[in-house]
Amino acid sequence: MAYAFMDGAEALARAALLAGCDFYAGYPISPATKIHLLLMDALPSSGGIAIQGEDEIASISICIGAAMTGRKALTATSGPGISLYSESIGLAIMGEVPLVIVDVQRMGPATGGATTGAEGDVQFVRWPTSGGLPMIVLAPAGLASMLSLTVHAFNLSETLRTPVILLTSKQMVLSKQTVATDEVALPKIRNRHYFSDPGEYVPYGVDKPSDIPPFLPMGASQPVRFTGSMHDARGYLTKDPEKAEQKLRHLQQKITAHAEQIESVTLDLQKGAKTLLLAYGVNAPLCEAAVQRVRQKGKRCSLMIIESLFPVPEKRLQSALQGIRTVIVPELNIGLYAESLKPLLAPGQKLIPITRVDGEPLSVNAILREGHLL
Amino acid sequence: MTAITYIDPARLPYPFCPGCSHGTVLDRLNEAMLRLSLDPQRVVMVTDIGCVGLSDQWFVTHAFHGLHGRSVLYAEGIKLAAPDLEVIVLMGDGAAGIGGHHLISAARRNIGVHVVLFNNFNFGMTGGEHSVTTPQEARTSTTRSGQMEQPFRIAETLSINGAPFAARRAAYDGDLVDVMQEALAFDGFSIIEVLEFCPSYYVPCNQFRKSDMEALLAGDVFPRMLEVRDERTEYATYLAAVGTDKPRRELLHGDRIEKRFEHTLSDKLDIIVAGAAGGKVLSSASLFARAGIASGLFALQHDDYPVTVRTGHSISFLKLSPSPIAQMGIEAPGILLLLSEEGLVRAGTFLKKMQQNQRVILAGDLPRPETAAAVERLKLDQLKGRMPRQQTALGVLFLFLKKHPLFPLEALRESVARAQGTERAEKLFAIAREASDDIWESA
């Protein structure tokens, strides 16, 4: 058995390469800079391209152009940068661009704390742009999860032709940890579906709303039309209400209809437990330890770790919530993900958010204490 | 494949207002492309927002229509990813405002994309508002008493900032197609700024006639120009050629730690190593952690240092445990190694929280801090001349490990040898092994 001692940035960059990432553009920003440096170093070889943009808008836009030639592109940033990415995320949604966007959260808003940890972007990345369409957001729950979820992010962005946000945080990206790399089961690598019919290529043509339009790169033997404006199946601008509705329902349903493919949760339910500890991101390992302590004391407690934050894994949540009286959600923000859980709670089910916003991590003891778990 | 025309005849006429120059310029571009016999399947027309942003829909080539002012960026991405494509950007003066910085950066890089900039001095699509190129004193719907701002001289600015091919012409100029042909054939970034008539807003607001256009072209601000300096390497070609495989290989396979030693820890242990920037604190702590992992421990390390380099504190927070580690933060460490004044100042908060069963180790002659913890001093002056300052952090960790054998000294020797060579590893190993107990004193 071999181990690695690596931080989240190395895990992410390594997994990106394994997933076939061959294009990176980014702009230096703490705490995402380590990913920037690693990929700027590692990609310009074996056919990979890496470039530092003049700003964040440039970086993500360059990635979008590259992705439409068939590249597997990734860009990484932090709070101020994800704010600037906003308009381009909309373009990637509308144009159906496979793209992985990493947000290494730091204390915000604005410049906030450049080297201070936080998880305050959770609801921002759920609706990161105008237009109101669902977004896939994955949050690694540890270093092994960082490895596998990065591959999952590429797989989803490729197969669903959509931007995927990989939401992590300073603590995870800059802390080195032991990981048994051989034991991490990476998902099988999946690529976008290329158009190969003998007929005419219709760039945004789908049979039913939840279908994914097949891909041809810029430079293919048939003309490829890409656009961020409202368009018909051929990629020409349209104001036709019927076509506009078709397009927007498609953009909605291609995410919602693939909820099971997107979903990534770990359930550790205990029979008879009335308490559910629900965790994501940097608090997930703490909650695992907390549940262990609770059970050692002879008490019952269930645990749910959510890696696919959005779309909210509603079915799995509903089953986890069966028979539960109290749901405890530790977060390094003002209680943001808890907001998304409220609509799923039955009358009488109590929600206890445990929040910390001073830049320091939560502790197992704090979770046990504030969650009244012992 | 060559084309008879790059404009889709089924879609003509163009959608522009009567008298607009856009159609003329597109026809000239079509002629230039025909002269060069470009394969339409190897051409991407990139546009963004504004009237000219509609243009890509009239071409039979590939088309990319994006956000306002960002077209040159998509073009750069396409060109970098597929350097053999011809990438042509059609953008307006509005886009040159919101995306001016992108244009300058593309010129500075010399990425081989070809920009045709349709400059009609105002926002024609939204209602004739002033743009960054509106001439001084000109009237627009937002400069009723005349424009005060000085116009952005796009072609000159890009030329000064590295564009090896920068030109300005009027839409009606007879040699526009020649200049376009030259620009499209150019191996590097090119920009042609084309001055145009906007018959719906700028022309009627300013009674702007051809004679006025000629006056502008004869002046200092918007002169006809053609600056070509063909001496720079095209960026996409350059980028495709640089780099070695080494960093990629290291990232993919570099770090494999095999368990070869046994540890003695029965419970988790938090260690803080607090020193000064430039003292190799972080890398030394990391090598210590790796030695722990090679002895069957789990490790977690995070570091703290100011944003400046080679000044101030440098601290590693290290957690070692026989079982997986969930907790990131450290409240009070089991061991606090103080290597310098800077570290002492920054670690002060921990000293107050530490208890009798915890231990502070002072390197050299640091003042004894006030704390409930046990304090030991490592008399480094005994090693004068033997341990260079740069290696103090690592050396102290060797000495610490000898006194408190959490795992074998050999594990650390191996970890250091792998990262920094056997010479240093053997030297520090020997120092630690030979050091007598009286190098330690209770403080």
Residue ranges of domains in chain B, CATH in brackets: 9-240 (3.40.50.970), 252-442 (3.40.920.10)
Averaged pLDDT for residues B26-43: 98
Please say if the pLDDT value at position B260 is more than 60: yes
Which candidate, B152, B158, B153, B57, places its Cα nearest to that of B113?
A: B158
Q: How far does B436 lie from chain A, in Å, by closest CA?
A: 33
Of B65, B73, B239, the CB nearest to A227: B65
Q: Which residues in chain B are closer than 8 Å to A171, comparing Cβ atoms?
A: 302, 328
* CA contacts within 13 A on the Cβ side of B101: 8
Q: What whole-number distance in Å separates Cα of residue B126 and Cα of residue B140?
A: 12
Write the CB contacts of B141 (distance below 8 Å, at least 6 apart in sequence): B127, B128, B129, B130, B201, B205
Nearest to B81 among A4, A49, A237 (CB): A49
**Tens digit of each residue's pLDDT (9 = 90 or more) over B303-349:** 998 878 888 999 999 999 999 998 888 889 999 999 999 999 998 89
Is A223 close to B40, i.e. CB distance below 8 A? Answer: yes
What is the 3-state secondary structure of A8-41? HHHHHHHHHHHHCCCEEEECCCCCCHHHHHHHHH
> Chain B closest CA to A6's CA: distance in Å?
8
Angle value at C-alpha A147, between A145 and A150, nearest 5 degrees? 95
Residue B372: predicted pLDDT = 96
Q: Do domains A4-183 and A265-370 have the same CATH topology?
A: yes
Q: Is the pLDDT score of B1 beyond 60?
A: no
Contact: A177, B81; criterion CB under 8 Å: no
CATH number at A4-183: 3.40.50.970
- Closest CB from A10, A224, A282 relative to B251: A10
To the nearest whole angstrom, how far is the Cα of B172 from the nearest Cα of chain A? 29
Strand partners, B30: none
Percentage above 70 pLDDT, chain B: 100
| pLDDT score of B389 | 82
pLDDT tier for residue B2 given thresholds of 50, 70 and 90:
low
Q: CA of A348, closest CA in chain B: separation in Å?
A: 32
Residues of chain A found within 8 Å of residue B66, distances taken between Cβ atoms: 61, 64, 91, 95, 226-228
Phi, psi of B293 (to 5 degrees): -65, -40
**A–B CB contacts, 8 A cutoff, strictly below:** 227
Per the CB < 8 Å rule, is A5 touching B290?
yes
Which residue out of B108, B248, B257, B325 would a mutagenesis test of the A interface target, given it has the greatest number of A Cβ atoms within 10 Å? B248
Q: Do A219 and B42 touch (CB under 8 A)?
A: yes
Q: Are A182 and A2 in contact (CB under 8 A)?
A: yes
The Cα of B53 is separated from the nearest Cα of chain A by a number of Å equal to 10
Of B56, B257, B298, the CB nearest to A4: B257
Q: Give the distance from residue A346's alpha carbon to the nearest chain B alpha carbon, in angstroms.
A: 31
* Closest CA in chain B for residue A71: B81
Which whole number is the average pLDDT over B71-98? 98
Tell me which chain B residues have a C-beta less than 8 angstroms from the C-beta of A23.
77, 80-81
Q: How confident is the model at residue B276 (pLDDT cuts 50, 70, 90)?
A: very high
Mutate to test the interface with B, among A30, A226, A234 (most CBs of B within 10 A): A226
- The burial of B12, by beta-carbon neighbours within 10 Å (0-12 exposed, 13-18 middle, 19 or more buried), is given as exposed
Facing A65 at nearest CB: one of B63, B76, B293: B76
Contact B319, B331 (CB under 8 A): no
What residues of chain A lie within 8 A of the CB of B307, using their CB?
30, 114-115
Chain A nearest C-alpha distance from B44 (Å): 7
The pair of structure tokens assigned to B418 is: 């792998």
Contact partners, residue B247, CB within 8 Å, separation at least 6: A38, A41, A42, A45
Give A-chain residues touching B286 at CB under 8 angstroms: 5, 176
Q: Residue A291: which residues within 8 A CB-CB, separation 6 or more?
A: A268, A277, A301, A302, A303
Contact state of B290 with A10 under an 8 Å Cβ cutoff? no
Contact state of B255 with A6 under an 8 Å Cβ cutoff: yes
Residue A81 contacts residue A124 (beta carbons within 8 Å): no
pLDDT at site A181: 87
User: Residue A224 phi/psi, 5° resolution?
Assistant: -110, 130
Asked if B195 contacts B222 with a C-beta cutoff of 8 angstroms, the reply is yes
Nearest residue, CB atoms, B255 vs list A5, A67, A223: A5
Interchain contact, A218 vs B101, CB within 8 Å: no
Question: Taking a C-beta distance cutoff of 8 angstroms, is the pair B396, B378 a contact?
Answer: yes
- What pLDDT, on a 0 to 100 scale, did the predictor assign at position B384? 84
Partners of residue A53 in chain B, C-beta under 8 Å: 73, 105
Q: Do A71 and B81 touch (CB under 8 A)?
A: yes
A289 vs B286: CB contact, 8 Å cut-off? no
Mean pLDDT, contiguous 10-residue spans, chain A (374 residues): 94 97 98 97 89 98 98 98 98 98 98 93 98 98 97 98 98 95 93 96 98 98 98 98 98 98 98 98 96 97 98 97 98 98 96 96 95 95
Chain B nearest CA to A71, separation (Å): 7
**Closest-approach residue (CA) in chain B for A17:** B252
Largest separation between any pair of C-alpha atoms in chain B: 96
If you measure CA to CA, which chain A residue comes closest to B106?
A54
- Min Cα separation B124/chain A (Å): 18
Supply the CATH classification number for the domain A265-370: 3.40.50.920
Neighbours of A130 (CB within 10 A): 10
The CA dihedral of B330, B332, B334, B340, to the nearest 10 degrees, is: 90
C-alpha neighbours within 13 Å on the C-beta side of residue A290: 32
Q: Which residues of chain B have a CB within 8 Å of the CB of A63?
A: 77
Domain ranges of chain A: 4-183, 265-370
Residue B252 has a pLDDT of 86
Residue linked to tokens 């097949």: A214
A12, A42 contact by CB (below 8 A): no
Phi, psi dihedrals of residue B72, rounded to the nearest 5°: -65, -30
Tokens representing B35? Answer: 């002269």
DSSP H or E segment with residue B27: helix B22-35
Among B329, B270, B273, smallest CA distance to B297 is for: B270
Q: How far apart are CA B114 and CA B90, in angstroms?
A: 9
